[in-house]
Amino acid sequence: MPGAPLEFYYDFNSPYGYIGAHRITALAQKHGRTVAWHPTLLGAIFKVTGAGPLPNVPLKGDYSLRDFARSAKFHGLEYQLPAEHPFSPVAASRAVIWARGDGAEAAEKMTLALYDAVWAQGRSIAGAAATAVIAGEAGFDAEAVTAGMNDPAVKQTLLDEVDDAIKKGVFGSPFVLVDGEPFWGADRFDQIDKWLETGGW
Amino acid sequence: MPGAPLEFYYDFNSPYGYIGAHRITALAQKHGRTVAWHPTLLGAIFKVTGAGPLPNVPLKGDYSLRDFARSAKFHGLEYQLPAEHPFSPVAASRAVIWARGDGAEAAEKMTLALYDAVWAQGRSIAGAAATAVIAGEAGFDAEAVTAGMNDPAVKQTLLDEVDDAIKKGVFGSPFVLVDGEPFWGADRFDQIDKWLETGGW
């Protein structure tokens, strides 16, 4: 019997989420797992934790910008700091939840299209119009995406999932729950790999 | 000509520093480098960054305790959360600076003895008396260590190095400067390895 999906939480503002999104499916498949895609809103989560965007923290801010670029390239990904950052990830997150109605592959395709637009190309995905354009370029029906982002059920699902994420202890991006075990950061994927292989330690 | 030493900064309160301290020499030697051991005081650094000890942050606190244990064991190290944490690392840091007078090997030996006492055995290293006992068990002359910790020059060197660390952008533990390039976290050692191999990217 295949195990439960890896619960993958990410915010489009997070370059580490961008790295994680490109790696999570291969990691899951290696262990016979699937991925549950959960776009989330760090802004809402930071209200609980009192944290703020990394680039605004003294000393840590300069470093984080450097680490964003270095880490993306270390993992073989293109990198560009978007002109607009942080930005509202609400529309983009809704687009993923809408796409997820067609399954995990569609959710992944939407996620990577939007993440690549921001972090490989430095484009804006703030707002429904920008999101629809990028979704259209990726092969989605832009009108259907726009309708989906405006669907009250999609909007409510996003809010419910953010609340649920906070209840489950999610406080950063990417964040992966593996059979309930929490892993924070693209730099914990090596531990997830060993955890799935060994059943934990 | 051998390259410059890896500048290794760490606070004894940091379990990730404990992991890093056990791995930095092998990493340096792999690339023909040595290690410059810089015990530092996160308490002073946090006054600049506004950060606080991880275990005190909402949501992140519970996770961090879990990640401390999981990460240490992932790297094959014993782990125990010390009863007293955070604690003053001043005496222990002075002991390392004193030992460093005999070279990097002595600094490493003192560092690992003190780190293992805290993070493998859960013992206290707060204060000169506790530090001298552990240093003595590790083969140092406990009386000489005590005199070293009280040496005004050793005390001043620690303060100067903390100021210098802040000037160089050090804000966490472990923190490694590789030919000026900053790497934060035991989870960046894979990037340091590739950086030293390739000359950067």
Name the residue in chain A with its Cα closest to that of B182.
A63
Each residue's pLDDT tens digit, B28-56: 999 999 999 999 999 998 888 777 777 77
Which residue type sits at B75? H
Cis peptide bond prior to B152, omega within 30° of 0: no
Q: pLDDT above 70 covers what percent of chain B?
A: 99
In a domain, B1, yes or no: no
pLDDT at A1 over 70: no
In a domain, A1, yes or no: no
CA atoms within 13 A on the CB side of B13: 20
Report the C-alpha gap between A89 and A138 in whole angstroms: 18
Cβ-based neighbours of B60, under 8 Å, separated by 6 or more: A49, A51, A171, A172, B54
Residue B65: both structure tokens together: 């305790």
Rounded to 5°, angle at Cα A124 from B182 and A25: 70
B57 contacts A201? CB cut-off 8 A: no
**Confidence at residue B156, expressed as pLDDT on a 0 to 100 scale:** 98
Each residue's pLDDT tens digit, A51-69: 777 777 778 888 999 999 9
Among B59, B173, B195, most A C-beta atoms within 10 A, so best to mutate, is B59
pLDDT at A2 over 80: no
Each residue's pLDDT tens digit, A38-55: 999 999 988 887 777 777
pLDDT at B1 over 60: no
Name the residue in chain B with its Cα closest to that of A49.
B58
Residue B121: both structure tokens together: 């055995």
CATH code of the domain containing B179: 3.40.30.10
Contact, B91 vs B117, CB < 8 A?
no
Residue A14: both structure tokens together: 């997070």
- Which of A73, A184, A191 has its CB closest to that of B63? A184
Report the C-alpha gap between B32 and A104 in whole angstroms: 47
Report strand pairing: A35-39 vs A6-10: parallel
The CA distances from residue B173 to A10, B13, B16, in Å, are 25, 9, 7
Cβ-based neighbours of B36, under 8 Å, separated by 6 or more: B5, B6, B7, B8, B104
CA atoms within 13 A on the CB side of A110: 30
Chain centroid offset of residue A160 CA: 16
Average pLDDT over residues A2-30: 97
In a domain, B37, yes or no: yes
Average pLDDT over residues A29-39: 98
What is the total count of domains within chain A?
1
Residue A39 buriedness (CB in 10 A; 0-12 / 13-18 / 19+) = buried
The pLDDT mean for chain A works out to 95
CB contacts of A169 in chain B (<8 Å) are 59, 62-63
Query: A20 is in which domain, residue-wise?
Result: 6-198
The CA distances from residue B123 to A3, A76, B23, B110, in Å, are 40, 43, 22, 15
Residue B196: both structure tokens together: 């030293």
Average pLDDT over residues A159-187: 96
Residue A7 phi/psi, 5-degree rounding, is -85, 110
Each residue's pLDDT tens digit, A103-148: 999 999 999 999 999 999 999 999 999 999 999 999 999 999 999 9
Average pLDDT over residues B120-139: 98
ipTM field: 0.92
pLDDT at B60 over 90: no
- Which of B49, B67, B73 has its CB closest to that of A60? B49
